[in-house]
Structure 1
Amino acid sequence: MSERKKIFICSPFRGDMTGNSVRAAGYCRRAYEEGCLPIAPHLLFPQFLDEGNLKERADGISMGLELLMECDEIWVFGEPTEGMEQEIWFAVEHGIHVWFRDGKGEKEA
């Protein structure tokens, strides 16, 4: 068994949580189809954390950053939100490769 590249999926969640979850699942599918292992905390943590509770939201972001430390790359989809910006800056500070992917082309950070 070969080890797959671990990809942290960074995309909007707040606002249209249902639509954003569907889009995030699609981004995960894209990573999977490219032979990668997608990591999307914003699809998992809302299953048991309350996004409206400030402490639980902060805990979710913190746990997501712990997962990000184990990833090879972060793929950013959509216009960065406040939470996404935290993930992007964390990746940059820790030397994790950042790709901005939007379907119209890609660029590295």
Structure 2
Amino acid sequence: MRKKVFICSPFRGDMEGNARRAAAYSRMACEQGFLPIAPHILFPQFLNEGIEEERRLGIAMGMELLALCDEVWVFGDATEGMAAEIASATEQGKKIIFKETEGM
């Protein structure tokens, strides 16, 4: 069984660029033998980030996935959403690893 890692990285703002970077972080985790979980690149495929109710639903579902993960990998400066994910991971006693983003 692969260890599940939650990819915690920015999404809002430059959503297209941030989604590309999150995909690269996910690939890196996969190549290292982990199972990456990156809901912020999956859920916008069917939820509208611009509709607050749908955004909240995406965040809530992401938190459910976070609870299933073994570790949380944090990339970049923490946004408000990332801070909530980090706080939840901390409360659950998850291992949190802050990763370098230089050259990615």
TM-score (norm 1): 0.91
From 15, 18, 23, the equivalent of 1:17 is 15
Alignment-derived partner of residue 81 in structure 1: 79
Kept in 1, the 8 Å contact 2:6–2:66? The answer is yes
Identity, in percent, stands at 62
Displacement over 6 Å in runs of 4+ = none
More helix by share: 2
- The aligned counterpart of 2:2 is 4
Cα distance per residue 1:55-85 (max 9 Å; x no partner): 1111100000000000000000000000000
Gaps of 5+ in 1: 105-109
Given the superposition, is the C-alpha separation of residues 48 and 102 from structure 1 closer, same or farther in structure 2, using an over 3 Å criterion? same
Structure 2, unaligned runs of 5 or more: none
> CA shift at 1:103, angstroms?
4.2
Query: Who is 1:107 aligned against?
Result: none
1:42 matched to 2:11: no
> Per-residue deviation at 1:102?
1.3
The higher relative CO (CA closer than 8 Å, separation ≥ 6) is in 2
